[in-house]
Amino acid sequence: MDTSAIFVGITLILLFIIALILFIWYRERAKSDKELDEAYKTMEKLSKFDPITQLCNKTSMTDRIEIEMMRMGRTWRPFCLVMINVDNFRQIIDEFGRDCGNKILESLGIILVKTLRKQDAASRWEGEELLLLLPETSLEGGYIIAEKIRKAVEETAVTYGDITMTFTITLGVDVYSKLGPANHSIRKAAAALYEGIQRGRNIVVKSDDPDLDFSKYQELD
């Protein structure tokens, strides 16, 4: 056999093997990069969202409020903050367990996503308390949205194992309409919330309610 033909044949075989090795290496590299990218995305999501409600966490919501404050400073269009508390949450956990409480928080998160407008944001603030941000919304407009959420929750049944139950929420609403610390508005929404709890729960209370005595909630300062 011609030596040159043998050389060409061996060269082609070597090139094929090299090409195959490169193909396998690039495929594994692409797979590894994809997995790494997915891992980064998961980490980013965990850093911004609450794993139970799938809503923003407190840090992410604080950032959104600061952005909305800057927007309000330019446009002078107010925004509302709504504080939500799951009624009798501790009793629910004591009777049915922590997992049942998490199921209720998960259901509440789903209801909020379905009920709120696209521009609104919802977060798990602390424990069973959630905070809503309603851009370009007056106090009355915030009350209407809060009441819509309250009714939606009241009418929703939650299934946990063999148990089907309903739950209620209490909401406090305040409007951020002039420049200043956002914490002041958050405290007013919280005071309205606690006033609602004092009145029997399953109610929406606005911060301008004439019967709301903020001095009763000075510990919020």
Q: Which residues are catalytic?
A: 128
Residue 213 CA to its chain's centroid (Å)? 30
CA distances from 123 to 64, 81, 120, 126, 167 (A): 10, 11, 10, 9, 19
DSSP letter for 188, please: H
DSSP letter for 45, please: H
Buried b or exposed e, range 109-120, using 16+ CB within 10 angstroms:
bebbeebbeeeb
- 3 state DSSP class of 124: strand
Tokens for 98, please give them: 């922590």
Tokens for 95, please give them: 């009777």
